[in-house]
Structure 1
Amino acid sequence: MSVRNILIIGLGGVGLHLARRLVQEGYGVTVIESIQHLISAANDNLDAKIIDGNAMELSSWKRAQAESMDLMIAVTDQDSVNMIASIIADRFGIPRKIARVRSPEYGYDNSLLNKNDFKIDLVIHPEELIAREIARLVMRSSGNDVIDIGEGTMKVCALRVNAACPIANRTIGEIRLLHNEFPFRVVAIARGINTIIPGDDDTIMPNDQVFIMVNGAYLSRLMQLLGMKEQTIQRVMIVGGGMVGARVAELLCKTVRINLIESDQQHAEELALSLKNTDVLHGDGTDVNVMVLGGLMEMDIFIATTGNNETNIISCLLAKHMMNRTNVDPAGKEGKTIALVKKEDYLVLASTIGLDIALNMKISAANEIMKFIRIGELLSVAHLHGVDAEVIELVAADRSPITKKRLGKLRSTLQDKGILVAGIITNGTCILTDDDTLIEPNERAIVVSATRSLKDAQQLFQ
């Protein structure tokens, strides 16, 4: 089912971020919100219809023309409002409903009142989503991140480039000529606040975060070429025992040893009793002495999940410096850091000052919602952490623009839009493209697109 008109309930962090993305991608967005300062902030920079009203009053839904909506997304900070909004949306005939529900007592498959009772198609729990994302990243034994693409046959590997890296200070074209023992392709670059979908003339610079697509069979060779060291994750330190930190410990404790630092003494005692295979220490996560006492020097990964942006960033910076064994042993391991960052502006700061991975809860929730919206429009979607770009699979329709010329002839047009057709899937195998590649009708392609250009990418294949 195609989605065109979307009703959002709530303009808080998730709602505003999601509304901006949806408007940017060309959807018709209407919002119901009652808090005046949120409405004022949105009116200044959001091209959407905003209804000043209470979502629990049917008059607000009528003013929003709810009966014409294809999808309702309720993301206020109150579970009860979101669940009731789903029931109201169903009565107005809105076919699909998404609701943010944090309480495990409602809305889930095993709850007394499950999502079907509230007519919800997708339940969003931002804290659970971000905890699972952190656990997934931890269990990747190398690099900053590895994403499965094309039914798992292809991987996209993220790497922070240093001055000694073989691809540093070289153009994409030079890299292709110098390193042609096996096929791989740089598909995106994060440089400061900018996202680059690179062409042959773009240069990889030190401190860039690059995303490289490679067949899974060549992943270890790529890591060896780029100097990425495989390591077994055995010990993890978490600062912050709130909903996210405690859940990360629960997800990881069966496979790794956890040391958790919590500033609230009573909560630390509760966590010590409830968490398995976890040593809980009461203290300040930005205090070097507390971190060392907690075993920081033996850790493979350090995770900061407190509710304070500055605490998370500062503690990760301290940990990053202290866990760098290469300072005293060139063959030593370099510990990884993951920070939970609430302010979007701080995401760029976190990556530019040296943290490995910075995650944002509302972006994670929005990504999950966008993935749901695109079901039926795209074969698959993978968001690349740290850049405004996504990997999608598209099927070329008969006589679609992408089938009329070889990719070399389309290079300039594609690069201007921030679109890269990176691979084609034939007989279950993905082959990286080059300038001579011609996309055939009904052929599946892996496309890397700037988020702003997703609609343009789809139109090329329609």
Structure 2
Amino acid sequence: MSVKNILVIGLGGVGLHLTQRLVHDGYGVTVIESSPQLISSVNDKIDAKIIEGNAMELACWQRAKAETMDLLIAVTNEDSVNMIASIIADRLGIPRKVARVRSPEYGYENSFLNKNDFKIDLVIHPEELVAQEMARLVMRASANDVVDIGEGQMKVVAMRVNPDSPIVNKTLKEIDLLHNDFRFKIVAVARGIATIIPGEDDTILPNDQVFIMLHEKNLPQLMNLMDMREQSIHKVMIVGGGMVGARVAELLGKTVKITLIENDKEHAEELASTLKNTDVLLGDGTDVNVMVLGGLMEMDSFIATTGNNETNIISCLLAKHIMNRSNVDANAKVGKTIALVKKEDYLVLASTIGLDVALNKKISAADEIMKFIRMGELFSLAHLHGVDAEVIELAAAPKSQITKKPLKKMRSMLQEKQILIAGVVRNGGCELTDEHTVIEPNDLAVVVSATKSLKDARELFK
């Protein structure tokens, strides 16, 4: 089902971030928000119709012209408001409903009252989403991240470029010529605060974070080329025992030994009695002595999930230094650091100063909602952590612009829009493109696009 008009309830962190993305992508967005102060602070940031009022009052829904909406997204901080809003939306004929529900007692498959009782199509729990993502990233021990593309046939691998890397200070064209025993394609680069969708003349520099797309069968060869070693995960340290930290410990504790540092005595005691396979330490997560006494030098990964941005970033930097300072042996492991960061601006900062991965709850929630919205329009969607870029799969319409000439003749236009046609799915297989590739009508293409260019990418295939 195609979505054009969207009603958002709540302009808090998730609501504002999501509304900005929806407006940018060309959706018609109407927002109901009860706080005049919040409305005043964001009025110049979003080009959406904003209605001041209580979402529990039907008059607000009438002013929002709810009967014309294709989708409701209820993301206030109150579970009860979001769940009731979904019921109201259903009564008013809005066909699809998304609601933020944090309490496990309501809205979920096994809850006393599940999502069907509240007419919810997608339940969003930002803390659960980011905890699941952290656990996934820890278990992907060899690289910063690995994203499955084309039903798993292709992978996008994220890694930091060291000064002695075989691809450093070389253009993409030179890399293709030098390393042609198996095919891979660098599809995105994070450099400082910039996201680059590279062309063949772009040069890879030390400390770049690169995103490399290749066939699954060639992953061992890439790891060998980049001197990446498979690392088994045995020990993980977590700082912060809040909702995210405790859930990560619960998820990883099934297979990994966890050390969790919590600075609140009462909460630390509670965690110690409920979390399995977890040693809970009382202390400050930015205190080097506490970290070292907790066994940091033996850890495979370090995760900071406190409610303070600075604490999370500083503790990860300390951990990175301590974990890697002991790894002077060329064959030793290199610990991975993951930080929970509330401010989007800090995500770029965290990556720039050396953290492996920084995650944000509202971005994780918005990504999940955007994926749900686009299910009818895209075959799949994956966000690349650390850059403002997405990997999408698009089907080429018979008379679309993308089908009219080889990719080399579209190179300058695609680069200008920060779009890369990276692969094509044909005859049940997925292959990387080159400059001679012609996208045929009805082909399914794997496209890497700057987030801001998603709309342009979709237009090329219509």
Same fold (TM over 0.5): yes
- Alpha-carbon distance between aligned partners in 2 of 1:41 and 1:457, rounded to the nearest angstrom: 32
Kept in 1: contact 2:107–2:113 (CA 8 A): yes
Kept in 1: contact 2:327–2:334 (CA 8 A): no
Identity of aligned residues (%): 76
Please name the residue that 1:151 is paired with.
151
- Alpha-carbon distance between aligned partners in 1 of 2:137 and 2:45, rounded to the nearest angstrom: 34
Q: Would you say how many aligned residue pairs link Structure 1 and Structure 2?
A: 462
- Alpha-carbon distance between aligned partners in 2 of 1:331 and 1:38, rounded to the nearest angstrom: 53
**2:110 is aligned with 1:107:** no
| 1:79 counterpart letter in structure 2 | D
Query: Alpha-carbon deviations, 1:334-365, whole Å to 9, x = none?
Result: 11100000011111110111000000000000
- Alpha-carbon distance between aligned partners in 2 of 1:348 and 1:450, rounded to the nearest angstrom: 15
Please name the residue that 1:412 is paired with.
412
- Alpha-carbon distance between aligned partners in 2 of 1:326 and 1:393, rounded to the nearest angstrom: 43
Please name the residue that 2:304 is paired with.
304
Kept in 2: contact 1:239–1:303 (CA 8 A): yes
Query: Alpha-carbon deviations, 1:132-155, whole Å to 9, x = none?
Result: 000100111201011111010100
**How big is the shift at 1:426?**
1.6
**How big is the shift at 1:163?**
1.3
Query: Alpha-carbon deviations, 1:88-138, whole Å to 9, x = none?
Result: 111211110000000001111111111111111100000000000001001
- Alpha-carbon distance between aligned partners in 1 of 2:357 and 2:416, rounded to the nearest angstrom: 28
- Alpha-carbon distance between aligned partners in 2 of 1:346 and 1:396, rounded to the nearest angstrom: 37
| 1:328 counterpart letter in structure 2 | V
TM-score using structure 2 length: 0.98
Q: SS at 1:177's partner residue? A: helix
Kept in 2: contact 1:238–1:260 (CA 8 A): yes
**How big is the shift at 1:447?**
0.7
**2:384 is aligned with 1:384:** yes
- Alpha-carbon distance between aligned partners in 1 of 2:204 and 2:48, rounded to the nearest angstrom: 38
- Alpha-carbon distance between aligned partners in 2 of 1:429 and 1:208, rounded to the nearest angstrom: 31
**How big is the shift at 1:428?**
2.1
- Alpha-carbon distance between aligned partners in 2 of 1:22 and 1:161, rounded to the nearest angstrom: 34
Please name the residue that 1:397 is paired with.
397
Aligned counterparts, 1:264-343, within 5 A: 264-325=264-325, 328-343=328-343
Please name the residue that 2:242 is paired with.
242
Please name the residue that 1:23 is paired with.
23
Q: SS at 1:93's partner residue? A: coil
- Alpha-carbon distance between aligned partners in 1 of 2:204 and 2:116, rounded to the nearest angstrom: 50
Kept in 2: contact 1:75–1:99 (CA 8 A): yes
**2:232 is aligned with 1:232:** yes
**2:13 is aligned with 1:13:** yes
Query: Alpha-carbon deviations, 1:265-319, whole Å to 9, x = none?
Result: 1111111111111111111111011101111111000000011111100100000
Q: SS at 1:107's partner residue? A: coil
- Alpha-carbon distance between aligned partners in 1 of 2:46 and 2:29, rounded to the nearest angstrom: 10
Q: SS at 2:206's partner residue? A: coil
**2:257 is aligned with 1:257:** yes
- Alpha-carbon distance between aligned partners in 2 of 1:141 and 1:128, rounded to the nearest angstrom: 21
More divergent stretch after superposition (284-293 vs 37-46): 37-46
- Alpha-carbon distance between aligned partners in 1 of 2:296 and 2:424, rounded to the nearest angstrom: 45
Aligned counterparts, 1:41-80, within 5 A: 41-80=41-80
Please name the residue that 1:438 is paired with.
438
- Alpha-carbon distance between aligned partners in 2 of 1:193 and 1:349, rounded to the nearest angstrom: 7
**How big is the shift at 1:454?**
1.3
Kept in 2: contact 1:326–1:333 (CA 8 A): no
**How big is the shift at 1:229?**
2.4
**2:357 is aligned with 1:372:** no
Q: SS at 1:232's partner residue? A: coil
Aligned counterparts, 1:206-221, within 5 A: 206-221=206-221
- Alpha-carbon distance between aligned partners in 1 of 2:430 and 2:328, rounded to the nearest angstrom: 42
- Alpha-carbon distance between aligned partners in 1 of 2:330 and 2:232, rounded to the nearest angstrom: 18
RMSD of aligned alpha carbons: 1.0
Kept in 2: contact 1:425–1:443 (CA 8 A): yes
- Alpha-carbon distance between aligned partners in 2 of 1:458 and 1:308, rounded to the nearest angstrom: 38
**How big is the shift at 1:325?**
4.6
- Alpha-carbon distance between aligned partners in 1 of 2:91 and 2:326, rounded to the nearest angstrom: 62
**How big is the shift at 1:395?**
1.2
Kept in 2: contact 1:325–1:333 (CA 8 A): no
- Alpha-carbon distance between aligned partners in 2 of 1:224 and 1:38, rounded to the nearest angstrom: 52
Structure 2, unaligned runs of 5 or more:
none
Kept in 2: contact 1:325–1:332 (CA 8 A): no
Alignment CA distance shift 1:235-1:104 (3 Å)? same
More divergent stretch after superposition (385-394 vs 323-332): 323-332
Q: SS at 1:131's partner residue? A: helix
- Alpha-carbon distance between aligned partners in 2 of 1:327 and 1:141, rounded to the nearest angstrom: 16
**How big is the shift at 1:184?**
0.1
Kept in 2: contact 1:325–1:334 (CA 8 A): no
Please name the residue that 2:426 is paired with.
426
**How big is the shift at 1:427?**
2.0
**How big is the shift at 1:54?**
1.1
| 1:309 counterpart letter in structure 2 | N
Q: SS at 1:128's partner residue? A: helix
TM-score using structure 1 length: 0.98
- Alpha-carbon distance between aligned partners in 2 of 1:442 and 1:332, rounded to the nearest angstrom: 48
More divergent stretch after superposition (169-178 vs 297-306): 169-178
**How big is the shift at 1:15?**
0.3
Q: SS at 2:89's partner residue? A: helix
More divergent stretch after superposition (361-370 vs 42-51): 42-51
**How big is the shift at 1:51?**
0.7
| 1:253 counterpart letter in structure 2 | G
**How big is the shift at 1:173?**
1.1
- Alpha-carbon distance between aligned partners in 1 of 2:57 and 2:397, rounded to the nearest angstrom: 45
Kept in 2: contact 1:337–1:356 (CA 8 A): yes
Query: Alpha-carbon deviations, 1:196-254, whole Å to 9, x = none?
Result: 11111111111111100011111111111112222111100000111111100111111
| 1:305 counterpart letter in structure 2 | T
Kept in 1: contact 2:82–2:99 (CA 8 A): yes
Kept in 2: contact 1:304–1:315 (CA 8 A): yes
- Alpha-carbon distance between aligned partners in 2 of 1:136 and 1:203, rounded to the nearest angstrom: 31
Please name the residue that 1:81 is paired with.
81
- Alpha-carbon distance between aligned partners in 1 of 2:193 and 2:23, rounded to the nearest angstrom: 21
